[in-house]
Amino acid sequence: MKTVLLAIILSVISLPAFSQAEKMREAFYSSYSLEKAGNIPGAISNVQSVYDDKSYECNLRLAYLKYMSKSYDESATYYKASIELRPLAIEPRMGYVLPLIALNKWEEVIAEYKTILTIDSKNSIVNYRLGYIYYARKDFKNAYTHFERVVSLYPFDYDGLIMLAWTNYQLGKSMEAKQLFEKALLYAPNDKSAKDGLGMIK
């Protein structure tokens, strides 16, 4: 009798948690379906109906959806909440830079990319993007640091090769640039950028 009573009590205690998990799953499922159909406000509403500020998944999902709806300040707020919940995670930080870029907050973008690199120094995507920002600013010394890291990790990656080649050219390192332009042409034999670079060195 005691065993049966204990089983009933345990099943009742666990029921609300299971019910909340089911609600969360259904809300996310509906949210994905509505997003696919182009109904972003509806997708947001579904997640908000089960929102828990301690839920990493809720914050991350809403951050993305708010970004898609061009509510960039709100998106950034949810991404920051996700980061606070999982400070060592790369995922929310990569998302966080999206509304920052849309808001033209480039210094904050750079700061966030640098933070990511303190967690994962070999992140090739972040190294490339940070290198590109520096290159666009004509800060070729810092651009070189990041593009060189990309090429050291992916020696036959076109994007890394071509940007490191141009960075070397801008730094006056013609021989290094020439070798990199030639390697880029092995990847893309008709590449205009690499051919232009070689033409400028000759």
Over residues 56-71, the pLDDT tens digits come to: 999 999 999 999 999 9
Q: Between the CA of residue 37 and those of 40, 41, 45, 48, 60, what are the distances in Å?
A: 8, 11, 14, 18, 20
What does pTM read for this prediction?
0.86
Does residue 8 surpass a pLDDT of 70?
no
Average pLDDT of the chain?
A: 93
> Alpha-carbon distance 103 to 98, whole Å?
9
**Domains located in the chain, CATH noted:** 19-120 (1.25.40.10), 124-202 (1.25.40.10)
Residue-wise pLDDT tens digits, 165-177: 999 999 999 999 9
Section 134-140 average pLDDT: 98
